[in-house]
C-alpha cells in the first residue's frame, strides 16, 4: 500500500522496492545496527524558530520595501523560510511591492 503511494507521489523517480531491500540488507550485513540514516554534510535546515521570527519581524518593520529575496540574503536564511515566517507566523501578505500586516 505504502509503495503505491510513493509511486503515485514520485512517479518514475520513486525507488524500486528491490532497491530499498538490497540497500538495507547490505547496510545490515556490513554491521549497521540501527535503522536511522547516516548524518549527511551540506547546508543545515533552517527552522522557523521564535528567534528567526523575531529577526524577520524586526527587519520588515525597519524597511517594508525589502523583497523576500533581499530579506533572505540579509539574514542569511532560506527564501522559503522567510516567506513562511512572513505569511504564516506574522500574518503578512504582499500588497503591491510592500509586505503589509
- Owning domain of residue 15: 1-40
pLDDT attached to residue 93: 80
Q: How far is CA 77 from the centre of its chain?
A: 11
pLDDT tens string 4-57:
777 788 887 777 777 777 887 888 888 888 777 777 766 656 678 889 999 999
**Where residue 72 sits, what CATH number does that domain have?**
1.10.10
Q: Are residues 54 and 96 located together in one domain of the fold?
A: yes
* pLDDT tens string 44-90: 566 788 899 999 999 988 988 888 899 999 988 888 999 999 999 98
| Cell numbers found for residue 21 | 531491500
- Classify residue 9: in a domain, yes or no: yes
Could you tell me if 56 and 36 lie in one domain?
no
Same domain, 30 and 71: no
- Number of domains the chain is built from: 2
Residue 45 in any domain: the answer is no
Domain check: are 57 and 35 in the same one?
no
Amino acid at each position: 500500500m505504502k509503495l503505491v503511494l510513493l509511486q503515485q507521489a514520485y512517479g518514475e523517480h520513486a525507488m524500486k522496492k528491490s532497491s530499498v531491500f538490497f540497500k538495507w540488507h547490505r547496510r545490515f550485513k556490513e554491521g549497521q545496527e540501527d535503522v536511522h540514516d547516516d548524518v549527511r554534510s551540506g547546508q543545515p535546515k533552517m527552522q522557523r524558530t521564535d528567534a528567526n521570527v523575531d529577526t524577520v519581524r524586526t527587519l520588515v518593520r525597519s524597511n517594508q520595501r525589502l523583497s523576500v529575496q533581499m530579506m533572505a540574503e540579509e539574514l542569511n536564511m532560506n527564501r522559503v523560510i522567510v516567506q513562511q515566517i512572513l505569511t504564516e507566523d506574522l500574518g503578512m501578505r504582499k500588497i503591491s511591492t510592500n509586505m503589509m500586516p
